Structure 1
Amino acid sequence: MSSTLERHVVTVGGLRVGAGAAVVIGGRVSLRERRGPAGEVLRERATLVEPSCAADLPVIAARADAVVVGAAWTRDIPLVRAAAGLGLPVVVERRPSASLEEWLGLADYCAAEGGDQVILCEGGRLNLGLLRAARTASGRPVLADVSADAGLSAAAVAAGADGLVLDHSLSAGADGPAPDRSLSAGADGLVLDHLLIAGPPVPRASHPGDDATADRTAGETARGAMAGEAMRVAEEAVTLVGALLRPETPATLPECREAIDRVDAALATLLERRAALAGIVQTLKPVGGFAGRDPGRERDLVARMARRAPELGEERLAPVMNAVIEAGLHLAEDRARR
């Protein structure tokens, strides 16, 4: 299917996946990784749930927004068939060694078994080229599971991911302690486990063994902060990168306002960056500040921008860029006086 044709859109827990803005889906739960009966693990509604066996499926049908065909058992055809037949949206993860054709073939099988509400999901060591190819070839929404490395969120959105998936512990951790902004979510990734943080520890009287408890509490707080940072990184990626690279055609006033908010967020980020660079320029020019403005360069700048934004044109862009340049110069002067 050509990427220019109308794309599949699948609704998961109120989120429209596959058209418009990219989304963050927090709440993937794997019953294969959790101990205990499904009814005890899923005491509350969850977004994406992977079964461990067919016995889990009735609980998933009642308490999940979508069922996950996990990468570890895509060849378990009886379980795949039963999961696809629940009547829920189906998220088909790619087995690490699976080719594009195998991945898309399994998605088509699930669609035939339970309806066309099927989403593809790339996880583990993300193959972003394959993610993009799957989206183009199938027309289906494609998610990127960034639970193991939130630092790949921006790259995944840039590659065309319709959404980012975070493990349940990450999405729950976002409501815990405020994230430490010094934490890194870069290429080395974030090492996180499945510990849920409900809030700050309750003070209590000192008892023997409190040192171990304090160490455990400190570890939980740190992990909660890292979880919150992972969620922040994912949300920033869908907002900023999505605003720059994902075309949107909102159909309602609220959707239009949300799209404008995303563009404004990206615009503010770029303006702040431009102002910082303009401040550096002032230290390198022979004559800085307003006296050092170069009208010829500014006209060339507006002309280049007009080629990217022909509908606005030079006449409309000129006053906008003049205001941007002046704001940057004022900021540079303020910083010089500090």
Structure 2
Amino acid sequence: MSSTLERRVVTLGGTPVGAGPAVVIGGRVSLRERRGDAARTLRGRARLVEPSGAGDLPWIAERADGVVVGAAWTRDIPLVRAVAGLGLPVVVERRPSASLEEWLTLAGYCAAEGDDQVILCEGGRLDLGLLRAARAASGRPVVADVRADPGLSAAAVAAGADGLIVADPAGAGPDGVPYPRSRGEAGGGHGAVRGAASGAARNAAIGAADGPAGEFEDRPEGGFEDGFEDGGRRAAEEAVTLVGALLRPETPDTLEECREAIDRVDAALATLLERRAALAGVVQTLKPVGGFAGRDPGRERALVARMARRAPELGEERLAAIMNAVIEAGLHLAEERRAHR
């Protein structure tokens, strides 16, 4: 199918997935990996939940924002059918050995059994080429589960991921559910999906939801270290903000959405300007004549001409004024650093 296929949008926890910016989604609950049943585990609002069997579905329908068809049981058709019929958004994980056709066929089956609110999920050892192909061929949202390797967040967004599934902040277990601070105490005010901490990254993530993510009477072994987990979320937030701003087209419909998109672009622009200033400082140490006296007007004109080919509507005249200010700011910064050595 064509990559220009009309995009489907699935609303998860009140936030659209599949249009506009990529989003950060708080970790998922796997009842297959948890001790006890759904009644014990899902005491508060949950985000994405994978059932261990049909008996979990009434609890999931009541307390989850989305239900996961896990990679380990995609061939359990009776359970897949029951999951698809819950009326919740369905996240279909790809079985590691499944082909693109098999993955999309299962997603289509879930859509037919339910209300067409289907999200594709690539996890484990991510095949980013397959993720990109699935998004282009299906028109459905595709998310990447990067809990095992948050360092792949930027690559996943660059490949076209509409969202990144990450572990929740400090105190969460391997599937992203916060552990209680003491027996019977809910582990924080998390909801179905979590937003970024602040700033432009916050605008790129799904907003905070409305209740505790869940309680557990016992803490299972194997939780992530706080630093790894928080770092993984930061990596995801940076990816959806910076990489998304550069590579993900957006068509905001409201003033608020437009301002959020501008915030993301500004965050990427600030990051690039800081990097450019640092490189300009290095250049000053390598030139025979540094500082303002070492400026090369010919090179600067050529630079502006190359930029104008990427930004034809701005044109060379406007870009020349912008780049003159950027170059001067970098030179002033280099001089200040040299003076403080």
TM-score scaled by structure 1? 0.86
Partner of 1:209: none
Measure the CA separation in 1 of the matches of 2:287 and 2:180: 53
Measure the CA separation in 1 of the matches of 2:112 and 2:223: 45
Q: Identify if the C-alpha distance between structure 1 residues 152 and 246 changes in structure 2 by more than 3 Å, giving closer, same or farther.
A: same
Measure the CA separation in 1 of the matches of 2:92 and 2:101: 13
Partner of 1:124: 124
Q: Identify if the C-alpha distance between structure 1 residues 297 and 231 changes in structure 2 by more than 3 Å, giving closer, same or farther.
A: same
Q: Is the 8 A contact 1:7 1:18 kept in 2?
A: yes
Q: Identify if the C-alpha distance between structure 1 residues 146 and 222 changes in structure 2 by more than 3 Å, giving closer, same or farther.
A: closer
The answer to whether structure 1 residue 171 and structure 2 residue 168 are counterparts is yes
Among 327, 330, 339, which residue is 1:328 paired with? 330
3-state SS, counterpart of residue 238 of structure 2: helix
3-state SS, counterpart of residue 171 of structure 1: coil
- Shift, 1:225, TM fit: 2.3
Q: Is the 8 A contact 1:197 1:221 kept in 2?
A: no
Measure the CA separation in 1 of the matches of 2:323 and 2:239: 26
- Shift, 1:137, TM fit: 0.6
3-state SS, counterpart of residue 232 of structure 2: helix
Q: Is the 8 A contact 1:197 1:224 kept in 2?
A: no
Partner of 2:260: 258
- Shift, 1:244, TM fit: 0.2
3-state SS, counterpart of residue 86 of structure 2: coil
3-state SS, counterpart of residue 5 of structure 1: coil
The answer to whether structure 1 residue 4 and structure 2 residue 1 are counterparts is no
Q: Is the 8 A contact 1:192 1:226 kept in 2?
A: no
Partner of 1:202: none
Q: Identify if the C-alpha distance between structure 1 residues 222 and 84 changes in structure 2 by more than 3 Å, giving closer, same or farther.
A: closer
Q: Identify if the C-alpha distance between structure 1 residues 195 and 137 changes in structure 2 by more than 3 Å, giving closer, same or farther.
A: closer
- Shift, 1:27, TM fit: 3.0
3-state SS, counterpart of residue 120 of structure 1: strand
3-state SS, counterpart of residue 321 of structure 2: helix
Q: Identify if the C-alpha distance between structure 1 residues 95 and 220 changes in structure 2 by more than 3 Å, giving closer, same or farther.
A: closer
Gaps of 5+ in 1: 177-190, 200-218
- Shift, 1:197, TM fit: 6.0
Whichever structure has more helix as a proportion of its residues is 1
- Shift, 1:195, TM fit: 7.7
Partner of 2:285: 283
Partner of 2:208: none
Partner of 2:19: 19
Code of the residue aligned with 1:141 in structure 2: it is: P
Among 301, 304, 312, which residue is 2:303 paired with? 301
3-state SS, counterpart of residue 4 of structure 2: coil
- Shift, 1:193, TM fit: 7.6
Measure the CA separation in 2 of the matches of 1:255 and 1:194: 28
Partner of 1:61: 61
Q: CA RMSD in A?
A: 2.1
Measure the CA separation in 1 of the matches of 2:51 and 2:223: 30
Partner of 2:48: 48
Q: Identify if the C-alpha distance between structure 1 residues 198 and 262 changes in structure 2 by more than 3 Å, giving closer, same or farther.
A: farther
- Shift, 1:55, TM fit: 0.3
- Shift, 1:42, TM fit: 1.1
Q: Deviations over 1:117-167 (max 9, x none)?
A: 10100000000000000001111110000010000000000000010012x
Code of the residue aligned with 1:165 in structure 2: it is: I
The answer to whether structure 1 residue 162 and structure 2 residue 162 are counterparts is yes
The answer to whether structure 1 residue 115 and structure 2 residue 112 are counterparts is no
Measure the CA separation in 2 of the matches of 1:43 and 1:230: 26
- Shift, 1:34, TM fit: 0.9
Q: Identify if the C-alpha distance between structure 1 residues 197 and 67 changes in structure 2 by more than 3 Å, giving closer, same or farther.
A: closer
Q: How many residues align?
A: 302
Q: Which runs of 4+ in 1 moved over 2 A?
A: 191-199, 219-222
Measure the CA separation in 1 of the matches of 2:3 and 2:180: 42
TM-score scaled by structure 2? 0.85
Q: Identify if the C-alpha distance between structure 1 residues 125 and 251 changes in structure 2 by more than 3 Å, giving closer, same or farther.
A: same
Code of the residue aligned with 1:16 in structure 2: it is: P
